[in-house]
Chain A
Amino acid sequence: MSAPVGTPEVVVLLVSHDGARWLPGVVEGIAEQGALVSRVVAVDTGSRDESRDLLAAAGHDVVEATSGESFPQAVALGLRRIAETVPAAEWVWVLHDDARPAPGALAALLEAAARRPDVDLLGPKVREWPSLRRLVEVGATISGTGRRETGLERGEYDQGQHDDEREVLAVSSAGLLVRRRVLEDLGGFDVRLPMFGNDVDLGWRAASAGHTTLVVPRAVVFHAEAAHRGTRRTALTGRHTHYQERRAALYTLLVNGRAATLPWRVLRLTLGTLVRMVGFLLLRSPGEALDDLAALVTVVFRPGAVRAGRRERRERLAALGRAPDGARVRRLLAPPWLPYRHGLDVVGDVVSALTSQAADVAERRREAQAELDPSSQAAARLRAERAAREDDDESGLADTGAVARFVTNPVVLLTTVIVVAMLVAARTAFGQVSGGGLSPAPDTAGDWWSLHLDTWHPLAFGTDVPAPPYVAVLAPIASIVGPTATIGLLLVLAAPVALWGAFRFLRVAGRLVSPLGAPRLLLVGGATTYALAPVAAGAWGDGRLGLVVAGALLPWLAHAALGFADPEPDRRRRAAWRVGLLLALATAFAPVAWLVAVVLALLVLGAGAAVARGAVLSRTVWGPPGLALAVPLVLTAPWWVPALVGGHADMLLLESGRVPSADLGPFDVLIGRLGADAPAAPAWAGVVLVVLAVLALLPRATRIPVTLCWLVVAAATAVAAVLSQLTLTLPATDAPAGLGAPLLVVQAALVTAVVLGGQGVVRARVAPPVRVVAAVVAVGALVVPVAGAVWWATGDDRLTSADDAEVPAYMLQRSESGAEYGVLVVRGTVDDGFRYTVRRGDGRTVGEDEVVSVTDADPGVTATITELLSRPTPDTIDALAGLGIAYVLLPDPADGSVSSTLDAASGLVQASSQPGSRAWEVDRELDASLLDGDPSWLRIGLLLVQGVVLLVALVLAAPTLRAPRRDDA
């Protein structure tokens, strides 16, 4: 190709279809290029609007085609016309009917072409039309997964940051300046790519044939991307633009890739499609997921098109007498790590969206009100605030870095110190931990999985009691970090997570009450007090994992529940799914939490009905809370339904962990102490909080919300009062109902009351004397979190890293080799009676306590053991072996008469044990099938339902990551 002398002849090839909306601008843009355009050939593919007239009126040469002609065919038609009418044309400038060139675009392209005679294809910088400022593309390539890579952020503004001329794989066909001969040699655009992706394919083919494609950012074309955005639907795009795009991408990859890599590409694209489908489902876009699948099926399972395309490319290259320029193509394709970076970006987006979901409920309520009454003072203030915020943005926070902001913010520093102190105080929980109400963690996550998924457990003498619901939460975490670390992480991170959640909840609650919200120091104080509540109550020190986790979830749950106050029904529905999920989690760890939630929901709806009957009767108002209450019911169904059916209703009210939980006395729920025996902080600190909450009723500005907090206190306390009348009669012991969840709700409501009351004092301009009193009270209020923290750091807990060494090590080793090697542990004396338990596998671990506690004693088993302890015969020992017992252990102090009875029994062999205790080995063969039971199809079905509903709930609760496609124009 020789360098042109003077100005080369350029013909514009404009393809239009129903583009009357944009065409006037496009025609104007072409005119602005001046004399550089020697002729305009417009191909109109059967427009039904006035496109044709517009083109003809502009004096362009209009080629008429039917609406069945695709873009490649239209281009081919145009080329033919050019060959006929302007045989001297050296360059063809391809434009779309929605692509308007900026003035000087063609000149810049031609100037670059003159400078770089080796270049055969040139493309402009494409900016968004009508926004004009946003970048669409500055050259493009394609990744191994078929994604069109532009190297741009979504909606990136053009500030000259991509203004380097560079060689690219492809440029957009909107504004493509190409040597006519090259375009003809390459066979134009591939007709098998009617709408999308044909530019990348062309670029790829050009690169393969050794042509250079250059992007010239000085040349600018504005492109409305009407087809891509779905604004314009044609017979060719159909309704499924996503399907078309995806099909084009897959076709491009398969038709241009090297033959040797084809099987690998097919495999990768198939797997990738599945992953993308999951992603689309998570984003609640089932249509796009199906489009993806359909595209894969069309391309991969109908290989005719790909085969034909590959043959055609081979023949054209052969005709040109060139070998494929693989090195150039590889250089220009997207780097292989790019898809993974996109994956990380998506995760980051999800996380940030999740964390900022309900944060602006207060803001949206104010906006909604301002809209209802734009003349109100509140609306005026809102506008002023917004203006001020924009000024702030303009004045540039950019020059203060994250570190500087961190160090100079006392609230952040204080919070950091608190969190670090919490982590230090929780040091007992690092590593293996058990004690109090907490059993040791199992050895592997698989133990938790099978506890959750199996319907029959080889515990005690075999039981069909369903596993507690929190096992389903622990198992997946443990699959990643291991069971021991799971327990440790939950115990260590619970307080910081509660602190975070409480801070967020209190901030929004404060803003709901008044637009300024509470001062941040007050928020930090309140959040810290709440975060320490499970610790101060003694739940942490007693190893009540369920309460600790529920305590950490509670503020997040409350925060999500604020979404019910959102003005938009759709957001209320999303909030319902989120609340449902969080409530299901909380219920899994502290079952009584659900009861409290029901009572609170009824109370709030009842109060709402009293104030405004009509509003509450609307389904969009009562529906979401109802949904939120129903979700936990479904998600925990594999637990509570079999428990009810099996006659273990007691299980539904038990506190999680070892039974029995603590007995609570009068006022314990109010002052937040789990009974007199709990390793709890001093009670006076709890009394201080109650007193403060009473004082919080004084400021008039916040009296109503504080009273509402007290209403929550009263409701939760009432639930506790009713439950406290119950004694759960378990086979081995009596246990109280779990009052920990109401206690935590009470504490949360008290803290909220104090913070809101404090906000009322601070924000209302009260008289100076009152301020002094308030200041004194504020200092007094500091006592609560400080006392809690000091007590935590210094006080005793019942958690320990030691394993209890009652059962000799050799027995443990054997019992871990199979469930049938149980150790029968018998405590007591002949005079006072005996109590037997069985240790199997790795012992009683987290999640098994509740199962074993409510498993009814088999009378036959008890009879066998009674016989064993009084007058054992060989038949007794056979029966014992049939129960899967390998050892009999009488811990210290062993009853002498029973010991001698067992010593004399034939079939039992004396075994070594710790001083004071006695042990015997059962001299019989044991069989692994001894403890087998029948599976429960009911529970299997419920587990399936649980899995499906969990997925659905996760998808429906997920935040909105992107807006659905809408008409932009």
Chain B
Amino acid sequence: MSETPHPPTTPARGTARVGRSRSRFDATLVAAVVVPLLAVGASALIDVDTPTRAGAAPSETPLTESSIVCPGGGGEVLVTSTSGEGGSVDVRSGGTEEQADLRPGRTTSVDLGERAAVVTGRDELAPGLVAGRFSTPLASFDCRAPVFDQWFTGVGAGARHRSTIQLVNPDEGRAVVDITVLGADGEVEAPLRGVTVEGESTRAVPLAEVLPRRDELTVRVTVVRGRIAASVRDAFRGVGNARSGDDGLASQAAPQTGNLLLGVPTGAGPRSLVIANPGTSQGRATLQLVTGDATFEPRDVEPIDLPPRSTVVVPVAGLLRRAGEGDEAPIGLQVDSTVPTTATLSVFVEGDLATAVPAVPLEGPGTAILPEGSKRLLLGDAASPGVVTVAARSGDGTALEEQRVEVGPGRAASVDLPDDARLITVTPARTSVAGVVAVVGSGGATIVRLREPATGGVVPDVRVGAP
């Protein structure tokens, strides 16, 4: 092995015979050390981190058409617009269609019988469209735009407590919903997958007939195809008068770990809290009372165990009865849980059923059409200290007194409204606040939620996708 090996890739043949001096040998050694170090060094520089492109939020756009569906069963449909514009909107019910003339601030009533009604506003009347529907003894119907996923907590399918799900399809095409039911012991097998609702029709699902059972239930309605406005009509038929009554059961968009139920009535009477844990893990809930000054945990109240995928009923009559009165009277019930839950508080006032579900905090002006009766505005869940302006109008559009209410986190506020107020607008400043109006009158009681009317549409961010 005496000859100098040829570099395998050097084409310079016969020219490698340069003097083999000691310094050349050293150069070889140096190269043998330096070159690998260079290679390792270069490889250490390689660190590719290709960013993944995040999606963008949708952009706002003016609304050109909006629809509100009022479930069937009540009386005349009350319509108004907060857009400040006048004009006519379509009100459709079954085969009949009417035009309702709206004027700013005024509440227009349209009588189309008991069937479900679809109110459609176009162009300048599309934003700010609000509708309401009530019945006697006092009960409210949740008039709202169709949503795709909602939870109804504390529905009944027995002889004493029976609930009916009403599915309204406002469009021409067929719509399909999936209904899942959670009972006391977990998910209930129910033939409610793929419930079809033909175009422009209403379908009622009387739960007592579909799945008769005695425990309190939680229902999730998911729209699979088309648009559906789902609502639940709750009815209690007790032996005594004290536990009878009807009301609409409002829905909750999604389970959450903190639920504030506004609308705790004063005085004694049956009150029950229903909590649903739709998750697959065991949870635990604690109750707190929210007053005008503070939020506190009452004595002698044990935490509530929430088994997975179940609905739990908690009697809270005693708890509320023991609470203070006057300024210290509880306005809301705060349910905090270790897992996301949904909740409903059912109370009987004046011998009539009223249900309270968590209200969505208002970021901007929230509105509600109110029935006749004595009214009290309840505000809570404020994100930070702030001021809320409360403006009320009578049925003919006359502005009634305007009030400013201070709100803050951890406390609620109660504001008496004039009896003839038919339209209320609540505008939070520097904060967000949830609000409901508790109404007593016409031989019953109900709780009306304040909502932000749709004022704009969204245009999603659309891009070409990776193949």
Contact = CB atoms under 8 A, between A and B. Distances in A.
Interface in B1-35: 1-16, 18, 28-29, 31-32, 35
B39 A710 contact: yes
Counting contact residues on chain A (CB < 8 A from B), the size range is 35 or more
Contacts of A849: 467
B463 A834 contact: yes
Given A703-B32, A870-B460, A910-B173, A607 B10 contact: yes
B64 to A, nearest CB: 7
A736 B29 CA distance: 37
Given A732-B466, A849-B467, A904-B173, A565 B10 contact: yes
A897 B148 contact: yes
Interface in B377-428: none
Contact of A732 (B39, B223, B457, B464): B464
A370 to B, nearest CB: 12
A607 B39 CA distance: 17
Contacts of B38: 714, 718
A38 interface: no
Contacts of A870: 61, 457-460
Given A697-B32, A704-B28, A833 B39 contact: no
A721 interface: yes
Contacts of B175: 903
B458 A830 contact: yes
B239 interface: no
Contacts of A567: 13
B146 interface: yes
A857 B7 contact: no
A32 interface: no
Contacts of B240: none
Interface in A790-845: 825-837, 844
Contact of A733 (B7, B53, B148, B226): B53
A365 interface: yes
Interface in A605-621: 607-608, 611-612, 614-616, 621
Nearest to B171: A904
Nearest to A694: B36
Interface string A731-745: 111111001000000
A59 interface: no
B15 A900 contact: no
Interface string A543-584: 000000000000000000110110100001000000000000
Given A705-B7, A710-B39, A659 B466 contact: yes
Contacts, number: 271
B326 to A, nearest CB: 45
B32 A565 contact: no
Interface string B145-175: 0101100000000000000000000011111
A866 B1 contact: no
A670 B43 contact: yes
A855 to B, nearest CB: 8
A783 interface: no
Interface stretch (A168-176, A387-395, A509-517, A522-530): A509-517
Given A615-B12, A896-B148, A835 B39 contact: no
B5 A835 contact: no
B8 A705 contact: yes
Interface in B55-79: 55-58, 61, 64
A514 B7 CA distance: 11
Given A572-B11, A727-B50, A899-B225, A565 B6 contact: yes
Contact of A663 (B6, B36, B49): B49
Interface string A11-32: 0000000000000000000000
A835 B466 CA distance: 8
B460 A513 contact: no
A703 to B, nearest CB: 6
A365 B8 CA distance: 11
B466 A724 contact: no
Contacts of B64: 871
Contacts of B467: 658-659, 732, 837, 844, 848-849, 852-853
A701 B5 contact: yes
A612 B46 contact: no
Contacts of B61: 870
A67 interface: no
A542 to B, nearest CB: 15
Interface in B169-204: 171-175
A649 interface: no
The 9 tightest CB contacts between A and B, nearest first, are: A896-B148, A835-B465, A833-B55, A612-B15, A833-B461, A832-B55, A857-B464, A714-B39, A615-B12
Given A704-B5, A727-B50, A899-B225, 16 more contacts: A565-B13, A658-B467, A659-B467, A675-B48, A704-B4, A707-B35, A711-B35, A714-B42, A732-B467, A746-B39, A826-B462, A834-B461, A835-B463, A837-B465, A870-B460, A900-B171
23 contacts: A369-B14, A378-B3, A564-B9, A565-B13, A567-B13, A611-B12, A611-B18, A665-B47, A697-B36, A707-B35, A720-B42, A731-B464, A746-B43, A826-B462, A834-B460, A835-B464, A866-B460, A869-B460, A871-B457, A896-B223, A899-B225, A903-B225, A918-B225
